Chains A and B, each alone.
Chain A
């Protein structure tokens, strides 16, 4: 399954609470990405980071925040400002200098009620 992990697999939260999703990789990849997937939809880019201590907004960054303090870790926080947070969240990484191929983690299914 490669070297990218996400935890937990399922997460339940009450509306109004912030929640942080974990993403760790031991592939020594420089770039990491967060995508959101809704039922019957493709993946949409939330945030990405190409180097430590630097990250950029993707297409749907509103209501989310990230940090990249270590090369192997890229946690995503879903804040209470995100209007519709229930979704399947996928983290990916890429070596970039060799290929644009992205390796995906197993995903976290977040349900907010």
Chain B
């Protein structure tokens, strides 16, 4: 089955700086890679996703890049703000279909004022 590794587990950056979170996956059949933001005690919220036929996608301060050959994808947040503080999860769709997502273990992003 799919295995998703996520690094780092904790990331502390100064407000206004950029943050990068990286994930690798094992199943070459995976073709959908979402990123979720989760605040304490709340449900995960989708912030951006990318399909395997696209190398990069951007939405305002957030971007995701995908390298299919190396089987890794990254989340980039620019001009970080205090409200960006949360736990971020990457995921991949197991088997390339709708059989559920395999998640990384999460990155706790801390924005220092």
Q: Which residues of A contact B (CB under 8 A)?
A: 31, 33, 35, 40-45, 48, 50, 56, 58-59, 90, 94, 96, 100-107
Contact = CB atoms under 8 A, between A and B. Distances in A.
Contacts of A103: 46
Interface of B: 1, 4, 6, 32, 34, 42-46, 49, 89, 91, 93-94, 98-106
A56 B99 CA distance: 8
A42 B34 CA distance: 13
B104 A101 contact: no
Contact of A42 (B49, B93, B104): B104
Contact of A45 (B6, B32, B100): B100
Contact of B100 (A40, A42, A58, A101): A58
Contacts of B1: 59
A17 B94 CA distance: 32
A53 to B, nearest CB: 17
